[in-house]
């Protein structure tokens, strides 16, 4: 019980200081705008889509999906500073009303409403996330990753943009 109390106090202090309660699984590295545009194009994003970015950073992928394609989106990040940045950037871009901001561990996030999921994580994190993607997402949902694959789950399509490999997977029917 004492360990739980200590954890709760530490978590509250971390949140009050604007730092994540848990160390992020990957460092924040912004995606180049040319790669953002290519990822959205590879996913064939349209105005009826709900685009989730797991580990959204400054929100640029979801913001671009909303601004250019009219899609709705969800920015998920464990770091409250990144969520703050994403919210401010969406306000500046005039699309905050189309985006939900969720401060959460990506492994705990509710992603069932996504029609498109964007990732810029490490291969090891993608591999750990894969069972959740395949279990929680509807068949036909598009998953796009910048640079990092998913082990033996082979992409349905891949491209190279400005030296970056981007990959698309379509979530299959459950057997």
Structural domain including 129 reads 22-170
| Successive 10-residue mean pLDDT values, the chain, 175 residues | 36 43 73 95 98 96 98 97 97 98 95 98 96 97 97 96 96 85
Check residue 131 and report its DSSP letter: H
Domain membership flag for residue 61: yes
Domain membership flag for residue 6: no
Q: For the chain, how many structural domains are there in total?
A: 1
Domain membership flag for residue 8: no
Domain membership flag for residue 164: yes
Res 166: pLDDT: 98
Domain membership flag for residue 165: yes
CATH number at residue 73: 3.40.50.150
Domain membership flag for residue 17: no
Res 175: pLDDT: 72
Whole-number Å distance between alpha carbons of 17 and 75:
21
Domain membership flag for residue 110: yes
85 φ/ψ angles, rounded to the nearest 5 degrees: -60, -45
Domain membership flag for residue 1: no
Pairing status of strand 157-161 against strand 72-77: unpaired
For the stretch 147-171, what's the b/e string if a residue is b when 16 or more beta carbons lie within 10 angstroms of its beta carbon?
bbbbeebebeeeeebeebebbbbeb
167 φ/ψ angles, rounded to the nearest 5 degrees: -130, 145
């Amino acid at each position: 019980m004492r360990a739980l109390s200590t954890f709760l106090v530490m978590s509250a202090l971390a949140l009050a200081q604007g730092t994540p309660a848990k160390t992020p699984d990957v460092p924040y590295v912004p995606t180049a705008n040319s790669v953002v545009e290519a990822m959205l194009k590879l996913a064939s994003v349209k105005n009826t889509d709900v685009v989730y970015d797991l580990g959204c950073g400054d929100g640029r992928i979801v913001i671009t999906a909303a601004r250019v394609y009219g899609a709705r989106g969800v920015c998920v990040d464990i770091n409250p500073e990144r969520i703050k940045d994403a919210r401010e950037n969406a306000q500046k871009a005039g699309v905050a009303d189309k985006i939900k901001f969720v401060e959460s561990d990506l492994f705990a996030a509710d992603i069932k409403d996504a029609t498109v999921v964007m990732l810029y994580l490490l291969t090891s994190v993608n591999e750990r996330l894969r069972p959740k993607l395949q279990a929680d997402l509807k068949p036909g949902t598009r998953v796009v990753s910048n640079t990092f694959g998913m082990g033996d789950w082979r992409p349905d399509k891949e491209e190279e943009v400005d030296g970056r490999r981007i990959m698309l997977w379509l979530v299959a029917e459950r057997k």
